[in-house]
Amino acid sequence: MPTQYLTITWDQLHRDARALAAKLIGHGPLDGAFRGIVAVSRGGLVPAAIVARELECRLVECVSVVTYQEQAIGTPVLLKPPAAAGDGAGFVVIDDLIDTGTTLRLLRTALPRAHFACLYAKPAARSEIDTAVLDIPQDHWVLFPWDTAPQFVAPLVTPKA
């Protein structure tokens, strides 16, 4: 169970996805470019769309893996394989976060020649990702913009009647 929460805003996510795209420039096998992107559903969908725009990449494939039930990690299940990506050659796999590496290990067997990238990486699996933007403490649960909604918060001091 996480001891702290880290809330990511839409603005921050966008900045970090652009930073990831900048880091990926020159790492693709085709004169530094990638042939395509594999977005890991669901968390990698938005970052992958931003990276695809920034890298002018039109071939975007999706892979669906279920690993979490609420905040508990389970056995990963591949719901939809990334058919267009073959063995991953020329593709970059984009996810929002690498936590324990469970999803990544499953995908590395399916896409052994792909480059793996994510926005945020936790120490337990940091060495398993090829490119990441920001390191996050292991005990933090990341709340992404699609997981939260702005709402009223009462002031610390209430006015006297």
**DSSP letter string, 9-78:** PHHHHHHHHHHHHHHHTT-BTBTBB-SEEEEEETTTHHHHHHHHHHTT---EEEEEEEEEETTEEEEEEE
Task: Say whether 95 is catalytic.
Answer: yes
Which residues is 65 bridged to in the sheet? 78
Catalytic option among 96, 130, 135, 139 = 96
Task: Say whether 99 is catalytic.
Answer: yes
pLDDT value of position 71: 62
In tens, the pLDDT along 41-54 reads: 999 999 999 999 99
In tens, the pLDDT along 4-45 reads: 999 999 999 999 999 999 999 999 988 889 999 999 999 999
Task: Say whether 96 is catalytic.
Answer: yes
- For residue 150, what pLDDT band results from cuts at 50, 70 and 90? confident
CATH 3.40.50.1370 fits 4-147, yes or no: no
Catalytic option among 99, 130, 135, 139 = 99
pLDDT value of position 118: 98
In tens, the pLDDT along 92-149 reads: 999 999 999 989 999 999 999 999 999 999 999 999 999 999 999 999 999 999 999 8
- For residue 72, what pLDDT band results from cuts at 50, 70 and 90? low
Query: By mean pLDDT, which of 40-44, 58-62, 69-73, 131-135 is the weakest?
Result: 69-73
Query: By mean pLDDT, which of 27-31, 32-36, 68-72, 157-161 is the weakest?
Result: 68-72
Amino acid at 132: A
Catalytic option among 16, 31, 87, 95 = 95
* Domain spans of the chain, in order of start: 4-147
